[in-house]
Amino acid sequence: MPGFLKKLINSGLISAAAVCASAAPAQAGTQSACAAAAESAFEEEDRRTAQGCGGCVCAGVAVLLVSEARKIMAGNVEGATERDACAILAKALELGSADAASELGRAYLRGFGVKHSESTGLRLLRKGTEGGSAVGARYLADYYFDNDDPDRALSWLSKAADLGDTRARTELARA
């Protein structure tokens, strides 16, 4: 994973400071210092995981990666493509991010940055929702509303609301 972070930093898709903040918050400095700090944090994470107590570094980096991928998908990162965003989401998914599964599932449903695949998209959205992603449940609700299945849509919207999605709560209140 550290090599992937260095590639992202060097390409300008994410900032070295953001990586430091998520992977090695006590470090600051140049781009190479931040990349080295992130690599060191991941090595420490691997050691702690082997001892049965890891997770926080990878979770923090996964949140950062999902956030950056969302910016790319929204067109807010010059020179970055939807394909770049999907590659980033795939790495966040490897780190166990439920939101990454949801965002990647949505990309597959829409054919953004990946080849369109309804089955893969739905599978990833369900995986994200099972992992606690409220946005995944909301995306599933949107999918079923778009495909004229209001009962399933309302079920997923209710799940999104239960997981804390405020937009879902608002939509349910109107229904």
Instruction: Go through the domains of the chain in sequence order and give each one's CATH number.
Output: 2-128 (1.25.40), 133-175 (no CATH)
pLDDT at 6: 59
Q: What's the distance, CA 166 to chain centroid?
A: 19
Angstrom distance (rounded) from CA 167 to CA 151: 18
pLDDT at 52: 42
pLDDT at 14: 58
Check: CB of residue 96 under 8 Å from CB of residue 66.
no
Q: For the chain, which residues score pLDDT lower than 50?
A: 1-2, 16, 24-31, 34, 45-54
Task: Return the number of other C-beta atoms located less than 10 Å from residue 32's C-beta.
Answer: 12
Tokens linked to 60 = 């923090």
pLDDT at 1: 44
pLDDT at 33: 54
